[in-house]
């Protein structure tokens, strides 16, 4: 009698549970997952590209040497059962499908992949691995993997000799440069790396254009910065010139500073409007501080425009009456022109004006070099 009552007393609870599951607006009770497979996330920014990986991290749990090529991480493509009849690769993690997202277009080991979020799978072999980027991001592992949804397959070589066994599966980032990074799956003693490459110039330009089409398109400092970036990276000259024009427009609150005017002059020069560029650069120099004028002279020297650089250094020296750092400029200009005697005179004057220990040390070395009859 007791068992009979117990069974029937549970039926209403079961019905309520089913009703809760069936209603899309109901919230279910959340409990810890027991920590069997850790929910994990890792990300990195490369240039303007955000990379994000989400996975469940299984543990080795005493199975070292019994993971790769077993039911834990199968080789190639196998029918995994549990209602799945499709040959499937390894899910590159545990539980739900591992996903990886890129905020911009990238290349994976040299092969193109569009921006987006992908289910990530790996077909393991004894001497190589095939990385698979798939449209299905909502699957449970790879049980219902569909090769027709593959967007990219690319081969990589695994490393099997990690010195220490890694207990929990992890995705790591290494060897980052301005536009590349190595992403790797590390577990037990295996490491499966692949290289993600971004087009920093094009992704940055696209991001700048997006920002300039909004509120920042009315902000002179932002317009000036965007135009300057285009000049420095030698792209998008026509549109950058429009940004530069807006940056100095008084109706937008623009101010004709040396930086803004020199950026505009540089863009005019790139567009072969040389006379306009020269005239504007003269105006820019009239608005320059001694530091800005000195920097422009140094820039001309790096372009091997010694005569033009000397003219700028002389203008700076005359305008600011020999104040720091104009003697430094004269030193460098005369040295580049071959007049080491005059260069030494200005080096000694600059040394006496040195504002800090770093500049003093550099000028002492310059004086020594010029005294020995060696150009800077």
* Helix axes 357-371 and 340-353, enclosed angle (nearest 10): 160
For residue range 293-327, list pLDDT tens digits in order: 999 999 999 999 999 999 999 999 999 999 999 99
C-alpha span between 122 and 141 (Å, rounded): 11
Please give the CATH number for the structural domain made up of 201-371: 1.25.40.10
Domain ranges of the chain: 38-198, 201-371
Residue 319 three-state SS: helix
pLDDT of residue 20: 41
Q: Residue 276: what pLDDT?
A: 96
d(C-alpha 223, C-alpha 260), whole Å: 9
Question: CA dist 204 to 154, 233, 238, Å?
Answer: 26, 10, 17
Mean confidence (pLDDT) of the chain: 90
DSSP at 218:
G
Q: Given this model, what pLDDT does residue 300 score?
A: 94
The mean pLDDT value for 116-131 works out to 97
- Residues 321-359: pLDDT tens digits? 999 999 999 999 999 999 999 999 999 999 999 999 999
Question: Is 346 within 8 Å of 323 (Cβ atoms)?
Answer: no
């Amino acid at each position: 009698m007791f068992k009979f009552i117990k069974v029937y007393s549970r039926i209403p609870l079961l019905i309520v549970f089913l009703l809760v599951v069936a209603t899309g607006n109901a919230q279910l009770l959340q409990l810890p997952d027991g920590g069997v497979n850790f929910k994990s996330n890792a990300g990195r920014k490369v240039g303007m590209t955000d990379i994000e990986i989400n996975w469940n991290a299984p543990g080795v749990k005493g199975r070292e040497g019994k993971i790769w090529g077993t039911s834990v991480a199968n080789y190639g493509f196998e029918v995994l059962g549990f209602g799945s009849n499709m040959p499937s690769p390894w899910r590159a993690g545990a539980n739900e499908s591992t996903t990886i997202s890129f905020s911009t277009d990238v290349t994976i080991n040299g092969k193109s992949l569009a921006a987006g979020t992908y289910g990530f799978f790996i077909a393991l072999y004894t001497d190589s691995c095939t990385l698979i980027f798939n449209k299905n991001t909502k699957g449970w592992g790879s049980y219902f993997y569909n090769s027709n949804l593959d967007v990219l397959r690319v081969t990589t070589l695994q490393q099997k000799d990690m010195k220490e066994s890694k207990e929990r599966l992890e995705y790591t980032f290494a060897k980052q440069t301005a536009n590349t990074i190595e992403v790797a799956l590390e577990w037990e003693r295996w490491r499966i790396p692949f290289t993600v490459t971004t087009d920093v110039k094009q992704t940055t330009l696209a991001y700048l254009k997006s920002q300039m089409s909004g509120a920042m398109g009315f902000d002179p400092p932002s317009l000036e910065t965007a135009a300057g970036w285009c000049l420095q990276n030698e792209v998008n000259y026509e549109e950058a010139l429009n940004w530069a024009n807006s940056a100095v427009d008084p109706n937008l609150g623009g101010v004709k500073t040396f930086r803004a005017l020199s950026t505009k002059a540089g863009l005019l020069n790139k567009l072969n409007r040389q006379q306009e560029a020269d005239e504007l650069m003269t105006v820019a120099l009239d608005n320059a501080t001694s530091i800005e004028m000195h920097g422009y002279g140094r820039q001309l020297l790096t372009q091997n425009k010694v005569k033009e650089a000397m003219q700028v250094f002389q203008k700076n020296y005359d305008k600011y009456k020999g104040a720091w750092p104009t003697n430094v400029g004269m030193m460098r200009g005369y040295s580049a022109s071959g007049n080491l005697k005059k260069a030494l005179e200005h080096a000694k004057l600059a040394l006496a004006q040195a504002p800090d220990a770093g500049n003093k040390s550099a000028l002492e070395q310059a004086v020594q070099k010029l005294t020995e009859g060696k150009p800077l």
